[in-house]
Structure 1
Amino acid sequence: MIIPIITPPESSSGFPQHPRLARLGKELFLLEMQGKLEVEGAKEGGFVGVLALDDSDKVTLRIGVHHLEGKIASLPKPLGILTKHKSDAGTTYEITEVVTKKIIFTKRPTPIVGHAGPLLQAN
């Protein structure tokens, strides 16, 4: 299964919607990485990389010319994704999703060898 990873656009409240979550089929996963993910250019709605899952639950993430390997693990406690609803009667919160698993990338990214990058021109 191959899933494109796209940074979510900002919501009407001005906050990004679930930037560290990925959906595989009907299930929502928390993405856990060591370090910082930097994206060049506009982040909202931009393509970040491709997440792939094979039959043995091995997860790979390709971001540009970098390759990360990960694994699926269960969360110690489920996380609830809440949606805030404001009305004249007051503010209510609705649980819209429950996250029970996470994808962990613990190793440093490895460069993809043989990737055809832009050609350098001699002056």
Structure 2
Amino acid sequence: MIIPINLAAHASKSETKFPPQLAKLGAEEVILIELQGSFEVEGNQSGQLAASLKLGENDSKPTMMVGRNLLEGKIVNLPKPLAVLVKKSTGRKTQRAQSSNSDDAIETEGNFKGDGMCEYDMLAVVKRKVLFSKRPMPIVNMASVATDISVKQ
């Protein structure tokens, strides 16, 4: 089976607005965040802030604050680039299945080219990742962290 992969149309660079720290990574660059361990959220946290990622002046020391834990990481190149794909179905059509009464028509979906036919749009190519390989530092006093981070930068 041949699965088509299309290049997605990108928005113009003037429409894309990023914070200045992320613009240094590239306006259209997508990066991975690799954590050592699991990222668990208790309860329904939909729409809530999960973490805060900060980059230094020279992008060498990214830090991420997760709750009361501070992680220090580094930006590394991936050995092989990864593609970000979005799956979409193709060849869909609507068929009308007639019942005994002509008024009770039921609409069903079918495929022109058979079941399982799909294609993918490639949104981005990932070439770098932010690697957090060290254990997190627990923070007791949040006010001291704000002053420590501002002094380091």
TM-score scaled to structure 1, two decimals?
A: 0.68
- Give the match for residue 68 of structure 2: 65
Q: Alpha carbons of 1:2 and 1:113: their partners in 2 closer, same or farther (altered >3 Å)?
A: farther
Structure 1 counterpart SS, 2:58: coil
The alpha-carbon deviation at position 113 of structure 1 amounts to 3.2
The answer for unaligned runs of 5 or more in structure 2 is: 1-19, 92-111, 144-153
Structure 2 counterpart SS, 1:47: coil
Q: Which has the larger radius of gyration?
A: 2
Correspondent of 2:140 among 109, 113, 119? 113
Structure 1 segments (4+ residues) deviating >2 Å: 23-26, 43-46
Q: Is residue 2:38 matched to residue 1:36?
A: yes
- Larger displacement relative to structure 2 (32-41 or 98-107): 32-41
Distance 2:42 2:21 in 1: 23
Letter in 2 for 1:49: A
Q: Which has the higher helix share?
A: 2
- Give the match for residue 92 of structure 1: 119
- Give the match for residue 20 of structure 1: none
Distance 1:24 1:54 in 2: 15
Instruction: Write the deviation string for residues 57-93 of structure 1: whole angstroms up to 9, x where unpaired.
Output: 1100001111000000000000001111212154111
Structure 2 counterpart SS, 1:101: strand
Distance 2:124 2:77 in 1: 16
Question: Does the 8 Å CA contact 2:29/2:124 hold for their aligned counterparts?
Answer: no
The answer for unaligned runs of 5 or more in structure 1 is: 4-22, 117-123
Correspondent of 1:52 among 47, 51, 54? 54
Structure 1 counterpart SS, 2:51: strand
TM-score scaled to structure 2, two decimals?
A: 0.56
The alpha-carbon deviation at position 46 of structure 1 amounts to 3.1
Distance 2:26 2:64 in 1: 13
